[in-house]
Amino acid sequence: MNGKVVVEGAKKGPKERPASEYKIYFPSSEGNPDSSFVSQDTKTQGLVIVFPLNVHDDAAIDQCEKLLKLKHENVIPHTGYYRDEANHLNITAELPLLADLHTRVNSKKYIKKYFSSIDATKITSRIVEGIAYCHD
């Protein structure tokens, strides 16, 4: 299905949502069924980024549940997870329109400017704080 083999499912997670709650807005541009894409969460009407997972066992469900509980100013919130028609797990996160690092770096390149050492230190510090929180 869509380039994916149907896999055996893991246990159903307590916060697992139905795939019908996600409307694909912008499919992967590479045509790779395992690359992320943008969907609309029909429950909240917001846009989310969907990350297809390559693991489909009970441990993956447990990790999805843990990611949903993370709350920190330097961690992009995960909003849900679901299985697609091939039973593959997908996890969703808020779509960081202008705050993600990739967009910020490319915007600086576009205007032919670079991050100052202070900007780079602030960004690195926020990334490290977010990672430290996730590992705690």
Instruction: Region of 21 please: left (phi>0), alpha (psi -120 to 50) or beta.
Output: alpha
pLDDT at residue number 98: 60
User: Is residue 29 scored above 70 in pLDDT?
Assistant: no
Domains of the chain: 1-95 (3.30.200.20), 97-136 (no CATH)
Each residue's pLDDT tens digit, 39-63: 899 998 888 989 998 888 888 999 9
Each residue's pLDDT tens digit, 62-117: 999 999 999 988 888 999 999 988 888 999 998 776 666 766 777 777 777 777 88
Pairing label, strands 47-52, 37-41: antiparallel
Paired residues of 22 in beta bridges: 41
